């Protein structure tokens, strides 16, 4: 096994990086892949709660890097999916506790053990971002269809190109098809025209994302909701499958039945 290292970045905070990392990792593991996700947001640990693994943390990323434990000891195994692991971020340290070369070394040690390493980048473009992309084979840039998120995504794509990690593939999260149709939200085509990079996923806005994170039960575990399905499609595309993008016309009908928000 030689893992492919995927890092999810956005520049702007709050666009849904952590949720995506959790759900893409879950979707890959559900397809029989061996996956380790790494929370790169040192000091603001969150991937553990989204995955529902917060009560099982003993060691973290910084413990591994500073040699207080072996890599294996910091890998928390998910009980629902036996081939899914999490290396949590340290909560009481900051980004300077890790360097880009530490991340490369850690991922190199992990590569023979798993199929995928998925890294959650912190918001921003400083040290934490550089750590998160250092070992990446592919970077997924996440944005929302709104001005500030698109602008920051563009900045991040420019930085990725400068670091030789670009251009990356785009995930558009929280798309509201009803608003797009009304002309009150940038469409997928608008965002692609502005950012000019390849698309790997469109995730519709879905209340169930909040419900799932409340429960610590990633929504990609169930295939019933549109957002979960979108994440499963991203996982399949990462595995090389050609999957058509979700049809939002049927979604519109569905949402109209539920009543407009």
Which residues of this chain interact with another protein, rule CB under 8 A?
146-147, 150-151, 154-155, 157-158, 161, 167, 180, 182-187, 190, 193-194, 196-197
Closest CB to another protein among residues 109, 190: 190
Q: Which sign, positive or negative, has the C-alpha torsion 139, 222, 191, 243?
A: positive
> How far from the centroid of its chain's Cα atoms is residue 103's Cα?
17
Contacts of 248 (CB under 8 A, 6+ apart): 175, 177, 180, 202, 204
The nearest distance, CB 1 to another protein, in angstroms, is: 34
CA atoms within 13 A on the CB side of 172: 26
Nearer to another protein by Cβ, of 184 and 247: the residue is 184
CB of 145 to another protein, least distance (A): 8
Q: Of 3 and 185, which has the nearer Cβ to another protein? A: 185
User: Beta strand 138-143 with 35-39: parallel, antiparallel or unpaired?
Assistant: unpaired
Between residues 109 and 193, which has the closer beta carbon with respect to another protein?
193
Tell me how far apart the alpha carbons of residues 119 and 110 are, in angstroms, rounded to a whole number.
13
Report residue 13 as tokens. 């905070």
CB of 173 to another protein, least distance (A): 16
* Sequence-ordered list of residues with C-beta below 8 angstroms from that of 249, at least 6 positions apart, any chain: none
Task: Compute the least distance from the CB of residue 246 to another protein, in Å.
Answer: 20
In the complex, minimum distance from the CB of residue 236 to another protein, in angstroms, rounded to a whole number: 27
| Cβ-based nearer residue to another protein, 30 or 180 | 180
The token pair that represents 114 in the structure block = 């798993």
């Amino acid at each position: 096994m030689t893992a492919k290292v995927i890092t999810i970045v956005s520049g702007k905070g709050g666009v849904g990086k952590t949720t995506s990392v959790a759900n893409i990792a879950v979707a890959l593991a559900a397809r029989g892949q061996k996956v380790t996700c790494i929370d790169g947001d040192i000091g603001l640990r969150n991937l553990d709660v989204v995955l529902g693994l917060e009560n099982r943390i003993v060691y973290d990323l910084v413990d591994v890097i500073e040699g207080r434990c072996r890599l294996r000891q910091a890998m928390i195994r998910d009980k629902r999916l036996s081939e899914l692991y999490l290396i949590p971020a340290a909560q009481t340290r900051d980004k300077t506790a890790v360097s880009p070369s530490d991340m490369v070394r850690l991922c190199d040690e992990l590569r023979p053990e798993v199929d995928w390493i998925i890294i959650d980048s912190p918001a921003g473009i400083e040290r934490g971002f550089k750590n998160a992309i250092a070992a990446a084979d592919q970077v997924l840039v996440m944005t929302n269809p709104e001005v500030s998120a698109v602008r920051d995504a563009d900045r991040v794509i420019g930085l990725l190109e400068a670091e030789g990690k670009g251009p990356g593939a785009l995930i558009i999260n929280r798309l509201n098809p009803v608003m797009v149709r009304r002309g009150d939200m940038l469409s997928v085509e608008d965002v692609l025209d502005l950012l000019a990079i390849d698309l790997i996923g469109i995730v519709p806005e879905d209340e169930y994302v909040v419900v799932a994170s409340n429960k610590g039960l990633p929504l990609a575990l169930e295939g019933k909701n549109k957002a979960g399905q979108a994440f499963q499609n991203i996982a399949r595309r990462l595995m090389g499958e050609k999957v058509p993008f979700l049809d939002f016309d049927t979604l519109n009908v569905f949402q109209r039945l539920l009543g407009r928000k």
